Amino acid sequence: MQFYERENYELKRYSNTFSIFENDPAQLSLHETMLNALQKSAIVPVISLLILLPACRDEVICTEDVVSRAGAGFYVRDGEEKRDTVLNNLTFYGVLRPDSLLYDSSGGIRQIVFPLSRGEGEYTGFVLMLGSLSDTLRIHHSSRLELVSFSCGFTVIHDIEGVSFGNTIIDTISISDPLVDLTDDENLEIYIRPAVVDSVG
């Protein structure tokens, strides 16, 4: 094993007696230039680190729910008037996904909220059941990204462009607010056939 010692700009190796720099002014100048360059190049990362550390320390953790959901209320037409209604024995899930129940309640439900798919120019399909009766509901929409905040990142918001549905349970559907975002606004008014409401109680 060989040991090195730095002394007066000399690196001396203890096994043979020779110096790397031999106090040569040209070599010393080159050595000093290299040291100065290293010291200056180290200043930039250090300053950057000092600037970024407070930002990391003050970063706020996102506590918001950043999933946009559509809202739908249930109504019945009473002549020219509309009145909200409560539905019992309601089941609601995604088409081809009966295992992913969004609602399965024997109690009264007046309004539901549900996510839409993130695909562009698509529709999201659901099955609405009241007792043994069922209808399929398709919501046609476009989707786009929107920045929530620097700590929470982006969310997907949707624009409802149309709806299609069966007519066993549903009479008509009105789009009350096409924009589906992080607000809790009601986007759809789903009108249930009066005979169905009477039959399911």
pTM exceeds 0.75, yes or no: no
pLDDT band at residue 4 using 50, 70 and 90 as cut-offs: very low
The residues spanned by each domain of the chain are 4-57, 69-200
- List pLDDT tens digits, range 164-174: 999 999 999 99
Query: Quick one: three-class SS letters along 119-157?
Result: CCCEEEEEEEEECCEEEEEEEEEEEEEEEEECCCEEEEE
- List pLDDT tens digits, range 13-61: 444 444 444 445 555 555 565 556 555 565 655 555 555 555 444 556 7
